[in-house]
């Protein structure tokens, strides 16, 4: 019983988080990965006001809550609404950008001096640091000690939940929100101000998140520099999913339950990783067993998967123009020279850094295959890399296998695990799959990478031949092999089928394409590539545990791919360089530049340039080509119909097309 109470205190975080997620999903049809950051922002404001500015508790509380609500409203108005018609993946990734942006806001707030004068990134925990409205003598209850902060959480949490439930049920805004969640077009036609209602939902979500974070910060602690933990977000998400993203009350209840479970599991096993697996299972089971709102709305909206216009090749006359070919050849030689000579001109740390960028590029390409082509939203690519890294390290260090044997085994295991991850994907789509893969990323870091049978010592040996330069060239070779293979893929049957399956699975089936096998092929290929890169990654840094392959980077990688341009190989590589390069080379300008570049850069790109950086690059290519060759590069889009009425004459040739004389080698002719 004492543990249950303690669990409920912890569970309050999940519960309020889940409620906020449901609210935002109802209004914007997106899982708001920035939700936790809204609350963390309020906590940072609170700290700044009470500690640095010595403001009265209640006044500071009011300001923090209001600022979080205002921030939520701004986000909804300026970003989410613009993207409402975009594919859900883009919206989901935009919330990652929002989260990174809020972190930057939080970091520039004045920070209170840490107790004991430590550095400013100190971890704040306990009521002695975080302000409380009143204090009481801690009460002992069984095995737990309850202070004022616990009682506040136990009382205020349910009150907030009750207020939200009552609001949804009885206020006109609440009813309007529920209506537009069910059918937004209809709601709009009925005269509901859908936009205002949506902003309202965001404000409430922001305020809830703020209250939740402020009452919980004294209990679970708060770090001003780190992102709000994905494991907590996953618990909230699991509760929200169990409530089918439509019932705020259920979400609250399940969230509490997960908190209790967390506490019990922690008490019995001394670890919290097991709960990550349970959370993953809850998500998987609820998604697979219920045909809830998520499934319905998602599949209806996702059917128009359209990230942006695909990048077209140059017209054949331009591509074959001798001067253009010469230019391409020169450019290629220049690039090759740069790539080959680079490691001899740069210092060791720079070369090492470049090698890691090449490896991230490989993982980004693997995400392109899976998400860009096959349309399977994956937020867990880095965890697949981790499979290769952690397991491969065990093969090398504990099993003492030769390096290359371990490399192949690691890549194969990556493919196998990706295949297993692909099985639920056969029944899930879009956002639902994104949640499952994110759950996988969290569970892998929290549980799988900690298991004795999977993880070795946590260290990785670097073979003797592996100097930094060799490391660079091996990474380069892996990237080149990846690009070669995926390009061959993209241009031929299997890659084409992936895109066909993404665009219109029913039509693909009717044409005889094995849809299931095509999807699974994408998973396996992407798993192999990611795991191979992960293996080399851990070889480079010498570490192979969950700290290296945490879930946050999985999110960064998918945003890098979107920044670069989802769907094109070069886009993935450009994205990887952008995402890795700016923090590395820009660190001297400002420590926040990385977050700012990926956060704000992501949002700007998604809104202004949906094709990603690749579009800019290829636009440049087109201009260059037309300047060099003097030919018109733009393919004219003639919006005309070859009317069916003109056809019968043209079709006279149809009889001359002998089916047996067709140059088709296979024996599939009837």
Partner 1 sequence: MQSVEPAQLALSARGVGISFGGLRALDAVDLEARPGEIVGIMGPNGAGKTTLFDCLSGFIPGEGQIWVGNQEVTGMAPNLRAAAGLGRSFQDARLFHTMTVFETLLVASELKMKHAGVATSLFGLPPSRTAESNAKQSALQMVDLMGLGGFRDKLIKELSTGTRRIVDLACVLIQSPSVVLLDEPSSGIAQREAEALDPLLRRLRDHLGCALILIEHDMPLLLGLAERVVALETGRVIAIGLPEEVVRHPEVVRSYLGDDPEAISRSGALAPKPKKKRKPRRAAEK
Q: Is 608 in the site for partner 1 (CB under 8 A)?
A: no
Say how far apart CA 418 and CA 529 lie, in whole Å.
11
Helix or strand (DSSP H, E) at 145: strand 144-146
Q: Is 500 in the site for partner 1 (CB under 8 A)?
A: yes
Identity of the residue, 135 or 507, whose beta carbon is nearer to partner 1 in the bound complex: 507
Identity of the residue, 116 or 642, whose beta carbon is nearer to partner 1 in the bound complex: 642
Q: Applying CB under 8 A, which of residues 191, 270, 322, 643 lies at the interface with partner 1?
A: 643
Region binding partner 1 by CB under 8 A among candidate stretches 153-161, 277-285, 609-617, 632-640:
632-640
Say how far apart CA 323 and CA 309 lie, in whole Å.
28
Q: Are 478 and 536 in contact (CB under 8 A)?
A: yes
Q: Are 578 and 557 in contact (CB under 8 A)?
A: no
CA angle (81 as vertex; 303, 195 as ends), nearest 5: 105
Q: Is 661 in the site for partner 1 (CB under 8 A)?
A: no
* Structural tokens at position 323: 């001067």
Q: Is 116 in the site for partner 1 (CB under 8 A)?
A: no
Scanning residues 165 to 204, which ones bind partner 1 (CB under 8 A)? Answer: none
Tell the smallest beta-carbon distance from residue 148 to partner 1 (Å).
Answer: 55
Identity of the residue, 292 or 458, whose beta carbon is nearer to partner 1 in the bound complex: 292
Identity of the residue, 472 or 489, whose beta carbon is nearer to partner 1 in the bound complex: 489
Q: Applying CB under 8 A, which of residues 397, 503, 541, 600 lies at the interface with partner 1?
A: 503
Q: Are 556 and 537 in contact (CB under 8 A)?
A: no
Q: Is 662 in the site for partner 1 (CB under 8 A)?
A: yes
Sequence-ordered list of residues with C-beta below 8 angstroms from that of 357, at least 6 positions apart, any chain: 576, 577, 580, 581
Say how far apart CA 365 and CA 84 lie, in whole Å.
27
Q: Applying CB under 8 A, which of residues 110, 142, 310, 347 lies at the interface with partner 1?
A: 310
Q: Is 664 in the site for partner 1 (CB under 8 A)?
A: yes
Q: Are 454 and 325 in contact (CB under 8 A)?
A: no
Region binding partner 1 by CB under 8 A among candidate stretches 259-267, 279-287, 543-551, 651-659:
651-659
Sequence-ordered list of residues with C-beta below 8 angstroms from that of 577, at least 6 positions apart, any chain: 357, 361
Q: Which among 71, 59, 62 has a CA at the least distance from the CA of 105?
A: 71
Per-residue mark of binding to partner 1, 519-538 (x: CB under 8 A): --x---x-------------
Q: Applying CB under 8 A, which of residues 137, 400, 464, 669 lies at the interface with partner 1?
A: 669
Residues in the chain: 670
Q: Is 325 in the site for partner 1 (CB under 8 A)?
A: no
Scanning residues 456 to 495, which ones bind partner 1 (CB under 8 A)? Answer: 485, 488-489, 491-495
- The DSSP output letter for 124 is E
Tell the smallest beta-carbon distance from residue 385 to partner 1 (Å).
Answer: 20
* Structural tokens at position 251: 């979400």
Identity of the residue, 53 or 488, whose beta carbon is nearer to partner 1 in the bound complex: 488
Site residue total, partner 1 (CB under 8 A): 59
Quick one: 195 exposed, middle or buried, by C-beta within 10 A (0-12, 13-18, 19+)? middle
Task: Give the binding site for partner 1 (CB under 8 A).
Answer: 306, 309-310, 312, 485, 488-489, 491-497, 499-500, 503-504, 506-516, 521, 525, 635, 637-648, 650-651, 653-655, 657, 659, 662-666, 668-670
């Amino acid at each position: 019983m004492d543990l249950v109470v303690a669990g409920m205190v912890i569970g309050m975080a999940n519960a309020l988080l889940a409620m906020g997620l449901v609210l935002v999903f109802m209004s914007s049809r997106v899982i708001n990965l920035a939700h936790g950051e809204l609350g963390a922002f309020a906590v940072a404001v609170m700290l700044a006001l009470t500690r640095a500015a010595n403001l009265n508790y209640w006044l500071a509380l009011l300001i923090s809550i209001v600022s979080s609500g205002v921030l939520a409203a701004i986000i909804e108005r300026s970003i989410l609404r613009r993207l409402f018609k975009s594919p859900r993946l883009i919206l989901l990734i935009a919330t990652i950008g929002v989260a990174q942006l809020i972190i930057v806001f939080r970091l520039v707030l004045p920070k209170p001096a840490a107790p004991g004068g430590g550095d400013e990134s100190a971890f704040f925990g306990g009521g002695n640091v975080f302000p409380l409205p009143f204090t009481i003598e801690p009460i002992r209850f069984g095995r737990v000690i309850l202070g004022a902060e616990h009682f506040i959480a136990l009382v205020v949490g349910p009150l907030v939940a009750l207020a939200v439930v009552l609001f949804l049920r009885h206020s006109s805004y609440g009813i309007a929100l529920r209506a537009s969640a069910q059918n937004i077009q209809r709601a709009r036609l009925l005269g509901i101000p859908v936009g205002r209602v949506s902003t309202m939902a965001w404000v409430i979500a922001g305020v809830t998140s703020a209250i939740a974070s402020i009452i919980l910060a004294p209990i679970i602690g708060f770090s001003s520099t780190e992102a709000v933990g994905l494991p907590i977000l996953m618990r909230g998400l699991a509760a929200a999913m169990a409530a089918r993203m439509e019932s705020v009350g259920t979400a609250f209840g399940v969230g509490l339950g997960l908190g209790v479970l967390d506490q019990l599991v922690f008490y019995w096993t001394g670890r919290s990783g097991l709960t990550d697996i349970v959370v993953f299972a809850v998500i998987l089971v609820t998604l697979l067993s219920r045909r809830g709102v998520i499934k319905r709305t998602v599949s209806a909206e996702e059917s128009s998967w359209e990230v942006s216009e695909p990048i077209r090749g140059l017209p054949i006359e331009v591509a074959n123009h001798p001067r253009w070919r010469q230019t391409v050849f020169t450019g290629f030689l220049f690039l090759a020279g740069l790539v080959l000579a680079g490691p001899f001109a740069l210092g060791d740390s720079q070369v090492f850094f470049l090698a890691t960028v090449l490896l991230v590029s490989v993982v980004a390409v693997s995400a392109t295959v899976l998400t860009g082509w096959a349309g399977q939203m994956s937020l867990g690519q880095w965890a697949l890399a981790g499979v290769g890294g952690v397991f491969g390290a065990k093969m090398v260090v504990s099993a003492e296998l030769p390096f290359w044997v371990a490399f192949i085994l690691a890549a194969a295991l990556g493919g196998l695990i990706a295949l297993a991850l692909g099985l639920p994907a056969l029944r899930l789509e879009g956002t639902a799959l994104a949640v499952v893969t994110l759950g996988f990323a969290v569970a892998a870091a929290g549980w799988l990478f900690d298991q004795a049978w999977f993880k070795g010592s946590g260290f990785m040996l670097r073979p003797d031949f592996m100097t930094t330069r060799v490391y660079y060239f091996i990474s380069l070779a892996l990237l080149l092999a990846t690009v070669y293979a995926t390009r061959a893929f993209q241009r031929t049957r299997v890659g084409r089928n992936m895109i066909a399956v993404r665009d219109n699975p029913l039509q693909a089936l009717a044409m005889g394409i094995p849809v299931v096998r095509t999807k699974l092929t994408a998973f396996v290929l992407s798993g192999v590539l990611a795991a191979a890169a992960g293996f080399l990654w851990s070889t480079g840094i010498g570490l192979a545990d969950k700290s290296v392959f945490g879930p946050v980077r999985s999110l960064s990688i998918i945003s890098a791919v979107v920044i670069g341009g989802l769907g094109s190989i070069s886009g993935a590589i450009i994205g990887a360089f952008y995402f890795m390069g700016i923090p590395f080379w820009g660190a001297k300008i400002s420590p926040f530049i990385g977050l700012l570049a990926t956060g704000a850069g992501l949002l700007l790109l998604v809104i202004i340039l949906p094709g990603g950086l690749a579009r800019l690059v290829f636009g440049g290519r087109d201009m260059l080509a037309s300047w060099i060759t003097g030919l018109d590069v733009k393919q004219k889009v003639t919006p005309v119909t070859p009317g069916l009425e003109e056809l019968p004459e043209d079709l006279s040739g149809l009889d001359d097309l002998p089916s047996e004389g067709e140059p088709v080698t296979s024996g599939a002719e009837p």
